[in-house]
Structure 1
Amino acid sequence: MNKALSAIIAGGGLGGLATAAALAQRGWDVTVYERQPALRAAGSGIYIWENGLRVLEALGACEDAVRDAFHGRCFEQRDNLGGIIESAPIAAGKRLITVKRSQLLDALRDASLRAGVKVVTSAEIIGATPRGELRFANGDIARADLAVGVDGIWSRVREALGLEMYHQQTEEGALRTVIDSRPGDIPEADAGKYIENWNGTRRLLITPINAQQIYLALTCTESDRAARDTNIDKALWSAAFPQWRHLIERIGNEVSWGVYSIIKCSAWSAGRTVILGDAAHAQPPNLGQGGGMAMQNGLALGVALEGVQHAEQIPAALEAWEARERPLVDHCQKWSTLYGEVAFLPDAVRTATIRGAMGNAWVSEQIFRAANHVPSGTIGFVPQGAACKVGDEVHV
């Protein structure tokens, strides 16, 4: 490539920064535009499966992302009486960690900056064109060989390009928060577990993210007004999950609520402008792959554009990229949505359904297909310097 091609990216979240790093590391001149006055992560904790860890290794962000992370060894679902429905160990040779979302964002930011990415904050994108243009609220227009919209579920880039087929918001949503952990919070027999507790349409997911903090997700229906109040009704939630009263009582004021979105698009690109992440394929968080899919597709986009020499070649490269990546994304979105449906089953029926499903090898393969996937750009990749070591459990 004689002259560096240029890319402008709307959105400085996980997918935007992963895409920026992937392109910049391949010689692109990249600028990221973020609406907020600073790069910051929305949300509390995040799961990073094997596919996401491989992407972070390839981007040079893994060591920072996994520092002090919690390494889970199994998922466990429990019923309304506290009994174990299913306890599924993480497959041998596969990795899963959980960290604070801000730590992952910082790792991707630093990898992007090392690669030469420029970041502009307080820049609100209100539209785009297929000509590689982003339009700003102040009337400015930025032009490049490639424009990328990674601007979330209410993407103005997607809207401007007319790519949305439908945007469905689910009946279920989640309260998310992080609490400080204390000795004895998690019984010794449960060390290394992610524990999902069910009671009616309410659910409590307990996720340690390091030695000092635990991420809690309390899910319920949007119509369950008492349960979804961000001023947590601790008596109500403790009555549903009495064995975890000591954690619920520790919830503070930093609590967010949001329902989930399911977004499908007719295509992920128009001309020289492309969308990815939640802008293109938002899904419920039930498989812990929203961030992983965004990062994975961002790296794959960089790989797909490696051989491009001229801007005229970009539309065809974008179509080929989507053809390769979309089947797995659609699969993950479908199964994440299906898993969410068990929230609406009676307790006894849910218990039988989960046991039957998780004990079936075919169903298990469908659920973990994305987690076990080897993403584009990581095949045969050998990390330089310190590898991304994940293996020492953190007990809390």
Structure 2
Amino acid sequence: MAKALTAIIAGGGLGGLATAAALARTGWRVTVYERQNELRANGSGIYIWENGLRVLEVLGAYEDAVRDAFRGTHFEQRDNHNAIIESAAIPPDRRLMTTWRSQLLGALRDACLRAGVEIVTRAEVIGATPRGELRFANGETQRADLAVGADGIWSKVRETLGLELLHEQTLEGALRTMIPAEPGDFAAGDTGKYIENWNGTRRLLITPVTQQHTYLALTCPSTDTAARNTKVDKPLWKESFPEWSHLIDRIGDEVSWGVYSTIKCKAWSSGRSVILGDAAHAQPPNLGQGGGMAMQNGLALATALKDVSTPQEIPDALEQWEQRERDIVEHCQKWSCLYGEVTFLPDEVRTTVIRNAMAHPWVAGQVFRAANHQPTGAGQ
């Protein structure tokens, strides 16, 4: 009986855990190294579109990930007068669910453990080599048939492998927080909607997550110092979005601020070491696909390596995986960036642009191409 191939993964986030579970389900022996004391999700709520849900189904994490999750019926944009710009119905066969990011992470963790993945915490990776090695802050080195860098935007694996081509941070950032939901938060016609409100360069995204919780993202340029303060200036934000004052009033002390990153790489692998997720292709969250792309690429990677029987075959399999997956990932990244640019248009111009663009089938197809994508390894 052939000895199982081994993989070591830097990063216990969504991409790292999805990759670990997918590899383990095909017979690999996998170890995940997480630098924090425990697996911990950054952020509050998360969007999971149809492509991400399909990956979760393959990994056996779907039921745990979406338990009590909110399933929306429409995604709606509104202008600075609270008038509807565009209200897009979400087709029943193109699901969109929102849940706690920590719940999704926990579901992937449990899927990993069921598949036999070992998870090691307090293990900080500071580099990698093309030989399938990870180097740690304590001076140790681990080697396997495959090394994976799923270690986020500031990836040390990407840096030491020399793969980065571009890393840009956006002018726009977001305050993120979860508030308690209450009866009457939404008018009767707004039930079931995700609502994105625009006013100047400020934006308020309202995302129900469960019946008890609603996720708010308050976005603005990083130069808007009054609006970006994590001690939220509620009168300021209520002035911009008076119709949602009752939600803004409920914002508590647990508020995070961050700008977005866009990362492009000359390649996603070097030898028997590979990067994925934010380490390889970070994007602004405007299409809600950062987590989806990471999980989708992890499943695709495991699918590409499923029939590999020796370490020598791995580099060619990694190249083929990248060639197959790059187009959809870069498409999603490009359109996420394009969507963010409408932030800086005058209100009336933005309204016209969004309304006319989203009414065109070609544009709508580009925006939702990733959500409608059949992930490699899913449904096959």
Cross-structure match for 2:193 = 193
3-state secondary structure, aligned to 1:112: helix
Cross-structure match for 1:387 = none
2-structure distance, mates of 1:4, 1:274: 19
- The yes-or-no answer on 1:150 pairing with 2:131 is no
2-structure distance, mates of 1:192, 1:177: 20
Matching of residues 181-260 of structure 1 within 5 Å:
181-260=181-260
Q: How much does 1:260 deviate? A: 0.3
Q: How much does 1:91 deviate? A: 2.4
Cross-structure match for 2:114 = 114
3-state secondary structure, aligned to 2:262: strand
User: C-alpha offsets along residues 213-248 of structure 1, whole Å, 9 cap, x if unaligned?
Assistant: 000000000000000000000000000000100100
Cross-structure match for 1:127 = 127
Q: How much does 1:189 deviate? A: 1.1
Letter in 1 for 2:61: A
Cross-structure match for 1:298 = 298
How many residues in Structure 1 have an aligned counterpart in Structure 2?
380
1-structure distance, mates of 2:138, 2:153: 22
Matching of residues 347-362 of structure 1 within 5 Å:
347-362=347-362
1-structure distance, mates of 2:354, 2:98: 23
Q: How much does 1:92 deviate? A: 3.9
Q: How much does 1:308 deviate? A: 0.4
Matching of residues 24-173 of structure 1 within 5 Å:
24-173=24-173
Matching of residues 255-334 of structure 1 within 5 Å:
255-334=255-334
1-structure distance, mates of 2:227, 2:307: 52
3-state secondary structure, aligned to 1:102: helix
User: C-alpha offsets along residues 357-381 of structure 1, whole Å, 9 cap, x if unaligned?
Assistant: 110000000000000011111123x
2-structure distance, mates of 1:17, 1:249: 36
2-structure distance, mates of 1:328, 1:143: 31
1-structure distance, mates of 2:250, 2:51: 33
User: C-alpha offsets along residues 288-330 of structure 1, whole Å, 9 cap, x if unaligned?
Assistant: 0000000000001100000100000000000000000000000
Q: Which runs of 5+ in 1 are unaligned?
A: 381-396
Q: How much does 1:186 deviate? A: 1.4
3-state secondary structure, aligned to 2:154: coil
User: C-alpha offsets along residues 68-103 of structure 1, whole Å, 9 cap, x if unaligned?
Assistant: 000001111000011111111112421110001000
Q: How much does 1:135 deviate? A: 0.4
The runs of at least 4 consecutive aligned structure 1 residues that moved more than 3 Å come to: none
RMSD: 0.6
Cross-structure match for 2:22 = 22
3-state secondary structure, aligned to 1:316: helix
1-structure distance, mates of 2:74, 2:189: 12
Letter in 1 for 2:269: S
Letter in 2 for 1:136: F
1-structure distance, mates of 2:92, 2:98: 17
2-structure distance, mates of 1:82, 1:24: 49
User: C-alpha offsets along residues 330-378 of structure 1, whole Å, 9 cap, x if unaligned?
Assistant: 0000000000000000000000000011100000000000000111111
- The yes-or-no answer on 1:8 pairing with 2:8 is yes
1-structure distance, mates of 2:353, 2:94: 26
3-state secondary structure, aligned to 2:18: helix
TM-score, normalised with respect to structure 1: 0.95
Cross-structure match for 1:374 = 374
Cross-structure match for 1:391 = none
2-structure distance, mates of 1:69, 1:166: 36
3-state secondary structure, aligned to 1:194: strand
1-structure distance, mates of 2:93, 2:250: 35
Letter in 2 for 1:122: R
3-state secondary structure, aligned to 1:219: strand
